[in-house]
Amino acid sequence: MITVSIAINGEPIFTRTAVNTAQVLENGCTVYELDCESKVHHRCEDGVVKLAKKMLGKIKERGTT
C-alpha cells in the first residue's frame, strides 16, 4: 500500500491511497487500485514519485473546473 498526502501547516488537506493489485498488463504496467475506486497503471521502474503524481492527479478539488 502507498499513501500520498498534501498538508498545509501540518494538517492534511488531500490524501490518496493505492494498493498494488499484482496485475501486470502486457505493456509491463502494474495496476494500482485507489481508495476512490479508480485505477492507475504504472511501470515500477519509473519510480515512486511518478506513481505519487498519478495518484494525486486523481484528486478532484472542490470549487475548481
Could you tell me if residue 63 is inside a domain? no
Containing structural domain, residue 8: 2-56
Q: What is the pLDDT of residue 65?
A: 59
Q: How many CB atoms lie within 10 A of CB 51?
A: 20
Could you tell me if residue 61 is inside a domain? no
Could you tell me if residue 62 is inside a domain? no
Could you tell me if residue 52 is inside a domain? yes
Could you tell me if residue 45 is inside a domain? yes
Nearest to 31, CA basis, from 46, 40, 52, 16: 40
Strand partners, 11: 8
Could you tell me if residue 28 is inside a domain? yes
Overall number of domains in the chain: 1
Could you tell me if residue 25 is inside a domain? yes
Q: What pTM, to 2 d.p., does this model score?
A: 0.84
At 42-54, the pLDDT tens digits run 999 999 999 999 9
Q: What is the pLDDT of residue 25?
A: 96
Q: What is the pLDDT of residue 60?
A: 81
Could you tell me if residue 43 is inside a domain? yes
